[in-house]
Amino acid sequence: MDTKISDFGIAKLVGMDQTHCSTSRLVGTLGYMAQEYAMAGHFSVKSDVFSFGMILLEIVSGQKNISFHHSG
C-alpha cells in the first residue's frame, strides 16, 4: 500500500504578492485547519504549514487528531 498525504494547497489561492487572504467558503478537513482559517476564513501559507504539522504529529505520536472532537 502506498500512502499519500493530500488535502493541502489552500495557500495556492494566495497570490505571489500577497501574504494572506480571506474567504467565505471553507475548504479542508476540520482538525487540520489552522484556527484563523476555520474560525474567520483568513488563510496564508502558514495555514498549509499548520495542516502539514498536524499530519506529522499524528504520524509521530500514533494518535488521531481530536482537536475538534467535543464531548458532552
Which three cell numbers, joined as nine digits, stand for 65? 487528531
pLDDT per position as a tens digit, 20-71: 555 666 566 667 777 777 777 777 777 778 888 888 888 888 887 765 455 5
Give the H/E segment covering residue 56: helix 45-61
Phi, psi of 57, deg, nearest 5 = -60, -40
Residues in the chain: 72
Q: What's the pLDDT score for residue 7?
A: 54
Q: What's the pLDDT score for residue 19?
A: 55
Which three cell numbers, joined as nine digits, stand for 54? 498536524
